[in-house]
């Protein structure tokens, strides 16, 4: 194996030791390295140091309202899809202190909350989640108001993407045009090959800093056989999605059917628990809370994730606008699939399937669309 100067678009092959070298290189380069790991019988994102911290030899099973981890017969590092966490946990955290104020004489000194000390390096970002980060970039960075907290967390983030070698029962990225292969927005994109035999990682360079990181570790040029194996794996994954979103004009379908009886049907099943909004990598709604200590010397403002499934979310002077489960589910789904286009120019759904897996009653957004389409009034 040799090291050489690499350009974006080039592909090389590294062994697991090379991947460890890359993780060390990221930490040496001042990044906070975050990636998948096993905790509480789920694959979650947390700080990692070596490939031993990854879910080595684990796989996951997904269906509506169903998630289980199992051991694999091999030592794959990336042989699972996405768990309950998404990268918004780090870029747009569940609880974010915005500022604190301390009494100074007759007035107050307000201190803005500092951003993170180190930029993030996200390891094993799936293509759907890469697209979800792009969706949140549009929300927080590309509108008329730029969110300084998101900007501070997003700045300089290094992205090591992973192309999916397997799909699960709730995946439908192919029909959303968001996967399973990472297209752009990454520094490096990896495909794991033959974990049961000649275990290796084909890595595509996406940026100059990705190339610089790769140059620090032993690697060899990818052969035509390596590239063909990676292509075949991703094609197989694309063909084995557990679900599919119907290819329709969602704005026409959903906004033209606001009184469809299916909304009553789904309201019978929906618990309005808000799980789907918490696990969704693009949902971004928040509430702000202020706290004042009992001495009156200090106070602060905190931003917290909230959900359009709560009654408080639409509460205005004297009552909630969306008082029924029907209106709250309809609000979430029509925003996600239809009015998001009006606001941000894309769908708010990237087909990750989390809302289906983590819905306690297994409500399936693709099935709800099909049901409305299949029984549209003539
Ligand atoms: S709506 Fe569901 S499938 Fe779509 S991005 Fe959100 S969690 Fe994933
Ligand atoms: S659709 Fe499922 S996850 Fe979402 S609020 Fe209803 S019951 Fe909860």
Q: Are strands 120-125 and 158-162 parallel, antiparallel or unpaired?
A: parallel
Question: How close is the Cα of 50 to the center of ligand 1, in Å?
Answer: 30
The alpha carbon of residue 29 and the mean position of all alpha carbons in its chain are separated, in whole angstroms, by 24
Question: How close is the Cα of 265 to the center of ligand 2, in Å?
Answer: 13
Is 370's pLDDT higher than 60? yes
Task: Give the model's pLDDT for residue 377.
Answer: 59
Quote the strand ranges of 195-330, DSSP E. 200-205, 220-221, 286-292, 298-305, 315-316, 319-320
Q: Could you please report the per-residue DSSP string of 65-116? A: TEEEEEE-SS--SS-S---S--THHHHS-SEEEEEEEEEETTEEEEEEPP--
pLDDT band at 115 (very low <50, low <70, confident <90, very high): confident
Q: How many CA atoms lie within 13 A of 127 on its CB side?
A: 25
The mean per-residue pLDDT over the stretch 151-175 comes to 98
Task: Quick: pLDDT tens for 201-251.
Answer: 999 999 999 999 999 999 999 999 999 999 999 999 999 999 999 999 999
By CB atoms closer than 10 A (0-12, 13-18, 19+), residue 371 is middle
Pocket test for ligand 1, best of 177, 278, 352 (most atoms within 8 A of CB): 352
Task: Quick: pLDDT tens for 246-292.
Answer: 999 999 999 999 999 999 999 999 999 999 999 999 999 999 999 99
Asked whether 187 and 159 are in contact (CB, 8 A), the reply is yes
Q: Supply the residue whose CA is at minimum distance from atom 2 of ligand 1.
A: 355
Percent of the chain with pLDDT over 70: 98
Question: How close is the Cα of 358 to the center of ligand 2, in Å?
Answer: 8
Is 5's pLDDT higher than 90? no
Question: How close is the Cα of 11 to the center of ligand 1, in Å?
Answer: 31
Pocket test for ligand 1, best of 128, 131, 280 (most atoms within 8 A of CB): 280
Task: Quick: pLDDT tens for 118-131.
Answer: 999 999 999 999 99
The mean per-residue pLDDT over the stretch 315-320 comes to 92
Ligand nearest to the CA of 365: 1
pLDDT band at 1 (very low <50, low <70, confident <90, very high): very low
Q: Supply the residue whose CA is at minimum distance from atom 5 of ligand 1.
A: 349
Distance between CA atoms of residues 60 and 83, nearest Å? 8
Question: How close is the Cα of 140 to the center of ligand 2, in Å?
Answer: 25
Q: Supply the residue whose CA is at minimum distance from atom 8 of ligand 1.
A: 352
pLDDT band at 4 (very low <50, low <70, confident <90, very high): low
Distance between CA atoms of residues 276 and 358, nearest Å? 7
Residues with CB under 6 Å of ligand 1 are 279-282, 336, 349-355, 365
Task: Give the model's pLDDT for residue 113.
Answer: 86
Q: Which residue has the higher pLDDT, 5 or 281?
A: 281
Lowest mean pLDDT among 101-115, 166-180, 272-286: 101-115
Q: Supply the residue whose CA is at minimum distance from atom 7 of ligand 1.
A: 280
Residues with CB under 6 Å of ligand 2 are 270-276, 309, 359-361, 363
Residues 6 or more apart whose Cβ sits within 8 Å of residue 37: 43, 44, 45, 46, 48, 53, 54, 55
Q: What is the pTM of this model?
A: 0.95
User: Residues for the chain: how many in total?
Assistant: 378
The mean per-residue pLDDT over the stretch 183-197 comes to 96
The mean per-residue pLDDT over the stretch 104-113 comes to 90
Q: Which tokens sit at 319?
A: 């009552």
Distance between CA atoms of residues 174 and 98, nearest Å? 38
Percent of the chain with pLDDT over 90: 94
Distance between CA atoms of residues 71 and 41, nearest Å? 11
Q: Report the mean per-residue pLDDT for the chain.
A: 96
Is 3's pLDDT higher than 70? no
Task: Quick: pLDDT tens for 320-344.
Answer: 999 999 999 999 999 999 999 999 9
Question: How close is the Cα of 361 to the center of ligand 2, in Å?
Answer: 7
| C-alpha distance from residue 85 to each of 10, 89, 225 (Å) | 31, 7, 35
């Amino acid at each position: 194996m040799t090291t050489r100067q690499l350009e974006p678009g080039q592909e090389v092959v590294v062994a697991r030791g090379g991947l460890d070298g890359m993780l060390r290189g990221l930490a040496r380069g001042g990044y906070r390295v975050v990636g998948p790991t096993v905790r509480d019988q789920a694959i979650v994102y947390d700080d990692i140091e070596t490939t031993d911290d990854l879910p080595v030899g684990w796989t996951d099973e997904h269906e509506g309202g169903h998630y289980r981890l199992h051991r694999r017969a091999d030592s794959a590092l990336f042989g699972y899809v996405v768990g309950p966490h998404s990268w918004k946990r780090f870029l747009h955290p569940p609880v974010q202190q915005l500022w604190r104020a301390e009494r100074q004489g007759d007035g107050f000194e307000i201190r803005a909350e500092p951003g993170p000390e180190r930029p993030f390096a996200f390891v094993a970002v799936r293509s759907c989640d890469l697209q979800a980060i792009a969706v949140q970039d549009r929300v927080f960075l590309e509108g008329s108001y730029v969110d300084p907290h998101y900007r501070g967390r997003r700045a300089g983030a290094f992205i090591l993407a992973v192309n999916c070698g397997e799909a699960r029962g709730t995946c439908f990225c192919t029909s959303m045009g968001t996967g399973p292969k990472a297209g752009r927005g990454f520094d490096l994109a990896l495909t794991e090959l033959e974990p049961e035999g000649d275990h290796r990682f084909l890595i595509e360079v996406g940026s100059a800093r990705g190339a610089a990181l790769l140059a620090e570790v032993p690697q060899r040029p990818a052969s035509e056989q390596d590239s063909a194996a990676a292509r075949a794996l991703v094609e197989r994954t694309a063909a084995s999605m557990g679900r599919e979103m119907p290819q329709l004009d969602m704005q026409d379908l959903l906004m033209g059917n606001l009184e469809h009886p299916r909304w009553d049907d789904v309201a019978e099943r929906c618990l309005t628990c808000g799980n789907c909004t918490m696990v969704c990598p693009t949902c971004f709604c928040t509430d702000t809370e202020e706290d004042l200590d009992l001495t009156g010397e200090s106070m602060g403002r905190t931003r917290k994730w909230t959900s359009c499934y709560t009654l408080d979310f639409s509460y205005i002077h004297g009552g909630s606008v969306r008082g029924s489960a029907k209106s709250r589910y309809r609000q979430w789904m029509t925003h996600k699939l239809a009015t998001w286009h009006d606001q941000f120019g894309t769908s708010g759904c990237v087909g990750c399937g989390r809302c289906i897996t983590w819905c306690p009653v297994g409500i399936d957004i693709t099935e709800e669309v099909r049901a409305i389409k299949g029984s549209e009034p003539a």
